[in-house]
Structure 1
Amino acid sequence: MRTAEEEIVSSCPQCGVEIRTDRRFTTWCAACEWNVDPQGPGEEKRGPAAVRRRIAQHYGELLFTELRAGNSGGRSVSGLFAYAIALTVHGLTCILAAVGVWGLIAGWGGLGMVFGLFFLALAWSLRPRLNRLSDDDRVLLRDEAPELYALVDEVAAVLGTRSVDAVVVDVEANASVTHLGLRRRLLTLGLPLWEVLSPQQRIALLGHELGHFTHGDTRHGMVVGTACRSLSTWLYYVRPMPNPNVVQAVTNLACVPLRLLVTAVMALLDLLTARASQRGEYLADGAAARTGSTEGAVGLMDRLMVTDSIATTLQRETNSRRLRRTGRGGEQNADGLWEALVAHLDSVPESECERRRRVGALRGHSVDASHPPTHLRRRLLLDGTPVPAAVTADSVRAERIAGELADVRATLARDVVRDGYGDL
């Protein structure tokens, strides 16, 4: 809650309406939108990321119109083309492996073995890689967090899908699901985002992430996803060498056609999977509303609009704690880090939240280049019939889950203070 000292009362210089705002945030007018976006959208960046964002906005707006009209926007044939291209990429890897084996057999004992080993090594580096846990992942197992897993299981049951096999907690202001190996499922929870959500918003977050399993996502699926990784490896191999000598300059020039081909194939896969990816996000938002209520899902959207504030607040808090470090290894100064983050986010006035929503609509804000515009996702939820929560978490349940996360909260707070947020 803001104090009287923090409130500013003024008149809009454009329309004269009285403005009440918080001195910590931008002064703007809700009536005529004066100064709603003082920084402006900035210059549009070029490159693959900018192209992906424009494609995401295009399909996001198109699917918003379809879904709002009641059309579920079924799967398109573009997904089949994406699978065909991905299988072609994997087929090329198999051909390289076969050539390598032939080279070993045909050139046994001679220079042909070098030829064969080279192609085998190339095929091995381009092989489809399944996701796996790393040694640095902070994994919560079922016996360590039974209440959290029970909540995830309940959300999965409501959505009619299988629950996850492992939960990883990290310091990103995000959450995601993915496959581990061939059949296992992994849920990654970003503690900064989890901390600033209410119990129902957390359930909506779980519903959204598990909703991806029920609706599918071609871009991040096993076939297409691993093909994209193989193409990224190809692109790494044919990247131009900096400050080349004569031989390297010739090599760079020779690699240009292959580099253009790989880039074109990656862009084509992005284009073919963009619509399905946007559709999956909208349908996952519907899953969030069914499990955590429409109100919880909309509240989650509002929090996603201020993820930059989460990062800024954590950077400020960690920097101040590092400067006044008094405990051994900085452990003492890590106390209250997450509470300070929550307090700041809760103190943001509704006027600032509304300003950010309008700025998001003006700029086409999205979580990343694979998501539809956030304001359209929020609007689609509000335009539909309000849905009550199918899963709830009372104070007792919330406290139990908090207790299960206590150790990892303390560990991550110490890591953030020690290393600085954004440097982990």
Structure 2
Amino acid sequence: MQNACPECAGDLTVFEDAAPWCGRCEWNLDAFAPVDGGWAARAVARLDRRAGFRAGRALVALGESAVSRRATAGFVVLVAVSVLLTAGLLVTAGIGVWLIATGRLLPPILLGGVLIGLAVLLRPRLGRLGHAVDGGWTLPADSAVAALVSRIADATGAPRPHVIVADLRWNASAAVVGLRRTRVLRLGVPLLLALDDQHQVAVIGHELGHLKHDDSLRTLVTMPARTVFGRLAQYTTLPPGDAVDRGLEGVLALAYSAVQLVMGTLSWLFWTLHLGLHLIGAAEQRRAEIHADLIAARAAGHRAALESLDVLALASRLS
């Protein structure tokens, strides 16, 4: 195995099963270990990771503009699409109600019920407090962790969470859920135990940064654009197997094959739209993470913020 970079002759870094890379010129840094699954799964994972790597490079090249709070073009597109989709769902539900209210025969009444059900299935979700705390333990307001969170929130100007939940995951997250917009902070006990005091401040500061910059609100107003087409792709995907696998013959086999063709095409189109909208919003999501990282650095210092990212990068191997 070569120990020098073929591009700049610098020393190569090797970590377990990862491909060697050069930290000086970033040669081969976009190479990733293969994932389990078929060729399609491997191709999608490879393209996804390389796209993420290119996006990271592009984000670094943006410089100070990456931390601007002005709405990006991608965010405006997502909001516009969300408004149109929300209006479409309301119209769909309204037509369903009208068909049920005015229908005298069973077919229009059933169609109205289907339209209302479709609108309900595709509606934006506000989240539920019960789901947000599921699988964890709510910490009392007078606990040491709650006191630490309050101190970090006061130091960074971030709002205090209404609920703090501890669980057994190697992760931490923040969300605003429900009609009352309850702020929930989840902290994984294994992750906190793996960090020293200053790194804990950095991780908590990062999550509070999401609350400070209203990332949940920005997510909510773009949710229809990011979820409707994905759900439609899921609902139009038929179970694997063809007519022969289901023991169909003759006209039934031909009809089922036709349904598969139509539904498969629709599912592919919906999935393509879903992927495209997520690609449009990717820059906005990366900016949200940068803003949260800046709050982490403000709370714990730049060195602690960077070192905590190293621990988080190893979380999948430690869990």
Q: Deviations over 1:138-163 (max 9, x none)?
A: 241444x5332222122222222211
Partner SS state of residue 46, structure 1: helix
Give the corresponding residue for 1:171: 168
User: Out of 172, 181, 185, which is 2:183 matched to?
Assistant: 185
Gaps of 5+ in 1: 1-11, 16-30, 312-424
Partner SS state of residue 242, structure 1: coil
Shift of residue 201 of structure 1? 0.6
CA distance in 2, matches of 1:76, 1:162: 25
Give the corresponding residue for 1:276: 284
Gaps of 5+ in 2: 5-9, 20-31, 36-41, 244-252
User: Out of 43, 52, 55, which is 1:56 matched to?
Assistant: 52
CA distance in 2, matches of 1:303, 1:35: 18
Q: Deviations over 1:31-65 (max 9, x none)?
A: 83375565423348323x65544443223212223
CA pair 75-59 structure 1, distance change in 2 beyond 3 A: farther
Q: Deviations over 1:365-399 (max 9, x none)?
A: xxxxxxxxxxxxxxxxxxxxxxxxxxxxxxxxxxx
> What is the aligned-residue RMSD (CA, Å)?
2.8
CA distance in 2, matches of 1:85, 1:70: 25
**Superposed counterparts of 1:262-301, under 5 Å:** 262-301=270-309
CA contact (8 A) 2:172 2:187 kept: yes
Give the corresponding residue for 1:72: 67
Partner SS state of residue 222, structure 2: helix
**Superposed counterparts of 1:81-230, under 5 Å:** 81-108=77-104, 110-132=106-128, 133-134=130-131, 136-143=134-141, 145-182=142-179, 183-217=181-215, 221-230=219-228
CA contact (8 A) 1:218 1:276 kept: no
Shift of residue 71 of structure 1? 6.3
CA contact (8 A) 1:217 1:276 kept: no
Partner SS state of residue 266, structure 2: helix
CA distance in 2, matches of 1:76, 1:99: 35
CA distance in 2, matches of 1:280, 1:296: 19
CA distance in 2, matches of 1:274, 1:218: 15
CA pair 72-124 structure 1, distance change in 2 beyond 3 A: closer
CA distance in 2, matches of 1:119, 1:91: 14
CA distance in 2, matches of 1:226, 1:256: 22
**Superposed counterparts of 1:266-345, under 5 Å:** 266-311=274-319
CA contact (8 A) 1:203 1:292 kept: yes
Shift of residue 13 of structure 1? 9.3
Partner SS state of residue 111, structure 1: helix
Q: How many correspondences in the alignment? A: 282
Question: Which one scores higher on RCO, CA 8 angstroms, separation ≥ 6?
Answer: 1
CA contact (8 A) 1:192 1:310 kept: no
Counterpart check, 1:42 vs 2:37: no
Q: Deviations over 1:264-287 (max 9, x none)?
A: 221222122111111221221121
CA contact (8 A) 1:79 1:218 kept: no
CA contact (8 A) 2:85 2:224 kept: no
Identity over aligned pairs, percent: 26
Counterpart check, 1:250 vs 2:258: yes
CA pair 61-290 structure 1, distance change in 2 beyond 3 A: same
Partner SS state of residue 164, structure 2: strand
CA pair 231-157 structure 1, distance change in 2 beyond 3 A: farther
CA distance in 2, matches of 1:34, 1:257: 45
CA distance in 1, matches of 2:13, 2:184: 45
